[in-house]
Structure 1
Amino acid sequence: MRRMLLGLVAAVALAGAAPAQEVLPPEPGIETTIQSQIDAFLRDDLDEAFGYAAPSIQGMFGTPQNFGAMVRNGYPMVWRPEDLRFGDLVDMPGGLAQTVIVTDGAGVEHWLEYRMTQTDAGWRIAGVRIVEAPGLNA
């Protein structure tokens, strides 16, 4: 489990800061996938939540339980959000990235970048990273 988490952290670190990209119109399928995964987390339905992860993520974690533990420990704001809204969708090298603004139970806002991939089963989540909210790097 520790090796998987370190691998995920390394992959996120190697991604680095992304240059500005053209904003695309909203993609309802992407928003539905993300919302459905979060709804599954709120119901503690790890099997369903794991199903919205891309095959590469499923292979990395192996089981819904391992995946759920990673989300609970690494992304508590996703595990139990108080509110969420969708920001920009951009085309980036390697796929589309959807910004999601999540408010946690303490009222703190978190900006996340969801990397999305199209599969035969529809849109799947290929990775999530916490990003800095615009305007905070002045």
Structure 2
Amino acid sequence: MPARLRYCLFALVLVLPQPLAAAEPIDTVQSVIERQIGAFLDDDKAEAYSYASPQIRSKFPNEDVFFDMVRRGYAPVYRPGNFAFGRSKIKGGTIVQEVLISAPDGKDWTALYYLEKQPDGSYKINGVQMLQQAPGPEI
């Protein structure tokens, strides 16, 4: 193999992992959000609660209290019609992920999910801000 081609391949190997690594936390948090919404749709309280951060768990100490809070206060998240991921922003160990939701009643919402990186490397949902507009404001 000519030296120039070998050099180009080596340079390509060094460059490729960087963009993939940058997208990885976003893919991970989107997966967490999808799984929690799926758990709400399946009425799986334990699964939905498992994605809550320790701070959220301290405010809602069991899955029944947590599930009831989401059902009453976050109906578009609890029973979304359709949803799609919008913008995301990384701020230190926190990722803000915009989720555009079309609720069953036809209203459009923007949910801003705040996910925090945990000591074990996982991401947990540390809060959701609901805005009755889509898309939401700058994040």
Cα separation, 2, equivalents of 1:36 and 1:91: 20
Which structure shows the bigger proportion of residues in helix conformation? Answer: 2
Partner of 1:125: 125
SS of the residue 2:104 aligns to: coil
Instruction: Tell me the TM-score normalized by structure 1.
Output: 0.74
Unaligned runs of 5+ in 2: 1-21
Cα separation, 2, equivalents of 1:89 and 1:116: 11
Deviation of 1:134 after TM superposition, in Å, equals: 4.5
Deviation of 1:81 after TM superposition, in Å, equals: 0.6
Cα separation, 2, equivalents of 1:135 and 1:41: 23
Cα separation, 1, equivalents of 2:136 and 2:124: 29
Deviations 1:82-123 (A, max 9, x none): 110000111247721000011111221100100011121611
SS of the residue 1:98 aligns to: strand
What is the root-mean-square deviation of aligned Cα atoms in Å? 2.1
- Conserved? CA contact 2:110–2:135, under 8 Å: no
Higher RCO, Cα 8 Å, sep 6+:
1
Partner of 2:30: 31
Cα separation, 2, equivalents of 1:135 and 1:69: 26
- Conserved? CA contact 1:87–1:99, under 8 Å: yes
- Conserved? CA contact 1:40–1:48, under 8 Å: yes
Q: Which moved more, 1:127-136 or 1:81-90?
A: 127-136
User: What is the number of equivalent residue pairs in this alignment?
Assistant: 113
SS of the residue 1:100 aligns to: strand
Cα separation, 2, equivalents of 1:123 and 1:50: 13
Inter-CA distance 61–106: structure 2 relative to 1 (3 Å threshold): same
> Looking at CA atoms only, which structure, 1 or 2, has the larger radius of gyration?
2
- Conserved? CA contact 2:100–2:135, under 8 Å: no
- Conserved? CA contact 1:102–1:109, under 8 Å: yes
After TM superposition, the runs of 4+ consecutive aligned structure 1 residues lying more than 6 A away are none
Query: Sequence identity of aligned pairs in percent?
Result: 34
Superposed, 1:3-82 pairs within 5 Å as 25=23, 27-82=26-81
SS of the residue 1:31 aligns to: helix
